[in-house]
Structure 1
């Protein structure tokens, strides 16, 4: 199975489960990374220290599905 990229939409899995869009139920996504900036890091120009989320964008309707990094989930 091809993995989604910023230029190529493909089916995606999250935690071993096939993902479908929450809005339109389409099953192909583009993948991007997004910085999870905090006010303190931004104030000191240390945005690069903040964690990065995985974003899967529906190729049909454009809805963005955000996923925290696994290391952040273990802290919760």
Structure 2
């Protein structure tokens, strides 16, 4: 299983929009476009950081490259 992380954007801590939890599992997400798929260029599509809430499972997507992930100590 992926390591638990907390996330921030600058001075702002990120919490789940649904349950307000602040611990997530991180996963890279490819934002495929129809044109990219049609012309076999999906490899060039934009990527996002997916944060999956460890309490409720809601998935948050961030395209901002300045998001910081902080590993939660076991």
Q: Same fold (TM over 0.5)?
A: yes
Greater RCO (Cα-Cα under 8 Å, separation 6 or more): 2
Q: Does 1:28 align with 2:33?
A: no
Alignment equivalent of 2:42, drawn from 27, 47, 58: 47
Q: Give me the TM-score of the superposition, normalised by structure 1.
A: 0.76
In structure 2, runs of 5+ residues without a counterpart are 66-74
Aligned residue pairs total 65
Q: Give me the TM-score of the superposition, normalised by structure 2.
A: 0.78
2:35, 2:60 → 1: CA distance?
A: 26
Q: Which protein has the bigger strand share?
A: 2
Task: Report the RMSD for the aligned CA atoms in angstroms.
Answer: 1.5
